[in-house]
């Protein structure tokens, strides 16, 4: 296991510009190890750009980002690719491989990044699917044969395949009905609790204020490339920052 302190992510004076457009500006932000932290903000605030920096997909124009004790800017591409095995990512629409069955989707990272044999891979993939509440009857179905909620479960099982220390969620409830939204939110909480022993850190990019306040330990509000409020979820709803109140009351 990697050695690092009580924070999984440390960002210092992070600035990112694209041409003359500044997306992130002198941003300072720490994310506590083992927490569920949600980043809220209006469209265009820089949430996706921040997430891509945490993943090492973007490099800062200036400043630094440290994840699990590693300064990402110091890692060569091959080392960065290897380091990303510490991440799990649940994409907005699950991003499953259409031509692969449920169990094949979950097995994919195990085939690519482990030395497990075929039998061990199948056993672990099945165990991961069961851990997110999927029955064996679904294992051989294609993504097109699954509901939106079931695809989210498969995506989460695949994201957990390499036992990550960081789980990233990109708008996990966008486009889902209220019942499925609750299921996904419950799944995020259950996943966090299930992996508490390794200090799993969950980072959520979201527009869903209600869910964020219910499931998060901490909530940050990003505006014009900077964190303008960052509080425990119970305190965030009572923030007196005008932008936060405007967002909450939309």
72: CATH:
3.40.50.300
Q: Is residue 129 a part of any domain in this protein?
A: no
Compute the distance between CA of residue 104 and CA of residue 65 in angstroms, rounded to an integer: 34
Residue 219: inside a domain, yes or no?
Answer: yes
For 112-126, how does the pLDDT look when each residue is reduced to its tens digit (9 = 90+)? 999 999 999 999 999
Structural domain includes residue 138? no
Q: How confident is the model at residue 175 (pLDDT cuts 50, 70, 90)?
A: confident
Domains held by the chain: number: 1
Its domain, for residue 184, covers 7-93+164-248
Residue 117 belongs to some domain of the structure: no
- pTM for the model stands at 0.90
> 173 φ, ψ to 5°?
-115, 5
Question: Is residue 102 one of the residues assigned to a domain?
Answer: no
Angle, alpha carbons 242-42-189 (nearest 5°): 95
CB 9 within 8 A of CB 31: yes
Residue 48 within a domain:
yes
Percentage above 90 pLDDT, the chain: 68
> Is 154 contained in some domain?
no
Would residue 40 count as lying in a domain?
Answer: yes
Confidence of residue 5 (pLDDT cuts 50, 70, 90): low
Long-range contact pairs involving 107-111 (C-beta distance under 8 Å, separation at least 24): 107/161, 108/158, 108/161, 109/158, 109/161, 109/162, 110/161, 110/162
């Amino acid at each position: 296991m990697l050695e690092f302190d009580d924070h999984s992510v440390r960002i210092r004076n992070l600035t990112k510009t694209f041409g003359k457009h500044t997306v992130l500006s002198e941003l300072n932000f720490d994310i506590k190890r083992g927490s569920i932290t949600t980043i809220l903000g209006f469209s265009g605030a820089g949430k996706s750009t921040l997430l891509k920096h945490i993943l090492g997909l973007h490099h800062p124009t200036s400043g630094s980002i440290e994840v699990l004790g590693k300064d990402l800017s110091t890692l060569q591409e091959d080392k960065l690719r290897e380091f990303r095995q510490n991440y799990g990512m649940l994409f907005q629409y699950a991003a499953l491989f259409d031509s692969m069955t449920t169990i094949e989707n979950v097995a994919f990272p195990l085939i690519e990044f482990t030395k497990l044999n075929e039998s061990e891979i199948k056993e672990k993939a099945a165990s991961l699917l069961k851990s997110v509440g999927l029955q064996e009857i679904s294992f051989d179905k294609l993504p097109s044969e699954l509901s939106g909620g079931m695809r989210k479960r498969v995506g989460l099982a695949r994201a957990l395949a390499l036992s990550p220390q960081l789980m990233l969620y990109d708008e996990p409830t966008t486009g889902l009905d209220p019942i499925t939204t609750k299921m996904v939110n419950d799944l995020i909480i259950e996943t966090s609790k299930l992996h508490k022993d390794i200090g799993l850190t969950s980072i959520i990019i979201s527009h869903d204020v209600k869910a964020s306040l219910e499931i998060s330990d901490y909530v940050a509000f990003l505006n014009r490339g900077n964190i303008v409020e960052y509080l425990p979820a119970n305190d965030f709803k009572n923030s007196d920052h005008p932008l936060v109140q405007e967002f909450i009351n939309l």
